[in-house]
Amino acid sequence: MQKTARKYRSVVGPPGRPREFDMDTALDRAVRVFCERGYHATSISDLTVAMRLATGSVYKAFRDKHAVFLAAFERYAALRQEQTRSAAAQGANGRERLRNVLLSYVEHSQGTEGRRGCLVVGSAVELSAVDPVVAALVSARLETNEGFIAGLIREGQADGSIPRHVAADDTARLMICITQGLRVVGKARLSLDGKRLVAVAMKLLA
């Protein structure tokens, strides 16, 4: 149950590889593989190739494949959260911040990244039913995002850009469905017109 070491170079140690080596970089590469192939279809061999680490090195850094996945999941979630927050930050009021969040989701659901897929959605679909640990992580992520969106709605109501009668919690939950659905539809390569789609979605704030 050792916590997965984020700092890779040991503090006391004097060892092996001087090359600036960052576990986060390796994890980013693991994220890509897990995103496009999912958990079960990704072999240790796939991981070592992607992460550019030898088998032994992977098992020295992580207890097993599952631990690699959890670390990759948390890294992915942190990255996406940061992207979403900074997209929101561009907006002048609650309504615009929310629009920016939705637009950001549409963009991330398209093209290369859209085809690669979202690790949260992938984990929910592939593992939630059989892996309680992953299920808890996924639920926590969705609830955080939902809370963030509900917060933006309330901000908008406070600054006057969103009507008071909008039900913040229900609307936020529906918007979570939209964002997760976007990632599913994006995987199916259906084209997504951000401007038009978001324009329709903003009617939920009327």
Partner DNA sequence: GATAATAGGGAATGGTTGTTTCCGAATAAA
Partner DNA sequence: TTTATTCGGAAACAACCATTCCCTATTATC
Structure tokens at 131: 């892996």
Q: Is 24 in the site for DNA (CB under 7 A)?
A: no
Q: Is 35 helix (H, G, I), strand (E, B) or coil?
A: helix
From DNA, a copy of itself, none, interface partner of 108 (C-beta below 5 to 8 A by class): none
Residue number with CB closer to DNA (54 or 200)? 54
Tell me if 201 sits within 8 A of 102, measured CB to CB.
Answer: yes
Q: Is 41 in the site for a copy of itself (CB under 8 A)?
A: yes
Show the binding pattern over residues 159-178: x = contacts a copy of itself (CB under 8 A), - = does not: --------x--xx-xx-xxx
Q: Is 204 in the site for a copy of itself (CB under 8 A)?
A: yes
Spell out the residues 6+ positions from residue 28 whose beta carbon is closer than 8 angstroms to its own. 75
Q: Is 145 in the site for a copy of itself (CB under 8 A)?
A: no
Judged by CB under 7 A, which of 10, 25, 139, 144 binds DNA?
Answer: 10
Q: For the CB of residue 87, give the shortest distance to DNA in the complex, in Å.
A: 34
Opening angle at CA 132, ends 126 and 133, nearest 5: 95
Q: How many CB atoms lie within 10 A of CB 115?
A: 14
Q: Is 115 in the site for a copy of itself (CB under 8 A)?
A: yes
Judged by CB under 8 A, which of 9, 32, 38, 194 binds a copy of itself?
Answer: 38
* Distance from C-alpha of 205 to C-alpha of 201, rounded to nearest angstrom: 8
* Distance from C-alpha of 134 to C-alpha of 95, rounded to nearest angstrom: 33
Q: Is 138 in the site for a copy of itself (CB under 8 A)?
A: yes
Q: Is 93 in the site for a copy of itself (CB under 8 A)?
A: no
Tell me if 148 sits within 8 A of 80, measured CB to CB.
Answer: no
Within residues 49-78, the interface with DNA by CB under 7 A covers: 52-57, 59-61, 63-66
Dihedral class, residue 62 (left if φ above 0, else alpha if ψ from -120 to 50, else beta): beta
Tell me if 72 sits within 8 A of 119, measured CB to CB.
Answer: yes
Q: Is 83 in the site for a copy of itself (CB under 8 A)?
A: no
CA within 13 Å, CB half, 9: 8
Q: Is 102 in the site for DNA (CB under 7 A)?
A: no
Q: Which residues bind a copy of itself (CB under 8 A)?
A: 36-38, 40-41, 115-117, 121-122, 124-126, 128-130, 135, 138-139, 142-143, 167, 170-171, 173-174, 176-185, 187-190, 192-193, 196-197, 199-201, 203-204, 206
